[in-house]
Amino acid sequence: MSSLKMMRTTRFPKPSDIERKWYLLDAKGKVLGRLASEIAQILRGKRKSLYAPNIDTGDHVVVINADKVVLTGNKEQKKAYYRHSGYPGGLKEIPYLKMKESRPEEMIIHAVKGMLPHNRLGRAMIKKLHVYSGSEHPHAAQKPEPIDLEG
């Protein structure tokens, strides 16, 4: 039998094949990096059999209680977030504790964004992440399915 007949074709998902679900994650007491890697997997669609690295097959993720996320070790005192204005001397540093107090949603978005592709595909994926510091969210109409992550 010819080896050409034995080959299987690769299936590429079409936009009509993609079914987007909504998931609800509670960040209370979860470690930031481990939570971010799970969120990134869901946003990329890696948990689906339909996954393709060049197509956005991921689902929407709603994260609540972002202000109750924790860090391991001594990172609460040492970790800092940086941004640059683009001008000489324009580097700004924000300590973790100040960021947690003022904008806890940005911590999770920043961590997840670093785990997604750094191109237009990653920018499309991060738009499906919805993070809230409290336990309330405005996405009840989408009926997000609560999932519990181990840890």
Residue 134 belongs to domain with CATH number: 3.90.1180.10
Residue 64 in any domain: the answer is yes
Residue 84 in any domain: the answer is no
Residue 87 in any domain: the answer is no
What integer pLDDT is reported at residue 93 of this predicted model? Answer: 97
Q: What tens-digit pLDDT sequence spans the chain (151 residues)? A: 455 566 677 778 888 889 999 999 999 999 999 999 999 999 999 999 889 999 999 999 999 999 999 999 999 999 999 999 999 999 999 999 999 999 999 999 999 999 999 999 999 999 999 999 999 999 999 999 999 887 5
Q: How far apart are the two ends of the chain, measured CA to CA in Å?
A: 51
Q: What's the total number of domains in the chain?
A: 1
What integer pLDDT is reported at residue 2 of this predicted model? Answer: 54
Give the Cα separation of 68 and 32 in Å (integer): 10
Domain that holds residue 57: 20-71+100-146
Residue 118: count of CB within 10 angstroms of its CB: 9
What integer pLDDT is reported at residue 7 of this predicted model? Answer: 66
Residue 119 in any domain: the answer is yes
Contact 40, 23 (CB under 8 A): no
Residue 115 in any domain: the answer is yes
What integer pLDDT is reported at residue 5 of this predicted model? Answer: 61
Give the Cα separation of 129 and 125 in Å (integer): 8
Residue 3 in any domain: the answer is no
For residue 91 the two structure tokens come to 């580097």
